[in-house]
Structure 1
């Protein structure tokens, strides 16, 4: 099996673009963060296998993964950070006193903060080679700081 992060064909990139756009639209239009997270993480983890998004057992197929700094990856990280934050809010809105939901919401918040931190690191890396990205870097760093503060507040609130 070959692995390529750079040389995927336009057909594969078009499929990935459509898949990412559909997942993001599902989240934004239909407010379905669970499905969005599942789809985007499936693409990021398993990649695209000959035009299919479900992992296959055949080893002879060529598999493509997005580079972590690819614009589709960055869109996915941005959406995942937001979707996990939304999922955590939904859980706490259901029953804020239930310990199981609080733990699950904390895990969702932690995942959101991790995606925010990854996004801030990626945009900082891009800034090093293109200084016009300073506004994006500042925005993502501020967002990451807020996510980390919210996570810290959740930890300290449960102490």
Structure 2
């Protein structure tokens, strides 16, 4: 029963990530990365080892099916983002317990993670295939907004976990 519950959580969070992409047009949907980050962090807290990777895979696959021309990018970026969330929560020793989760560690892990995934995806879109024109202003925007959105997502995820979700066992 626990495996089904874990898969349900990953599918639910991945589907919510997809829905944020569904109703918002492509340039603006990148600003909703904070929603993705909160859901991936919560998925990693619920499903210990690779929960964010599962949720990212579901969200990336659904987004790729909705926009088939971007399927490889959607799937790779979402998988990488989920994997990096799991890795950084492990590296920063963020442990979800019934007492709660360390807000500062989760905020730091998500800030560094979102900065790195922002640079990786921006760099991979501008330098290699040149899908987007390179701009120093965009570089600075990614450098500033990456950690800010990650820290906000880490705070929101820790607040939700510590206030409402810490007593739910999966």
> Normalising by structure 1, what TM-score?
0.34
Whichever of the two has the greater Rg, that structure is: 1
Structure with larger RCO (C-alpha < 8 A, sep 6+): 2
TM-score normalised by L of structure 2: 0.33
- Structure (1 or 2) with the greater helix fraction: 2
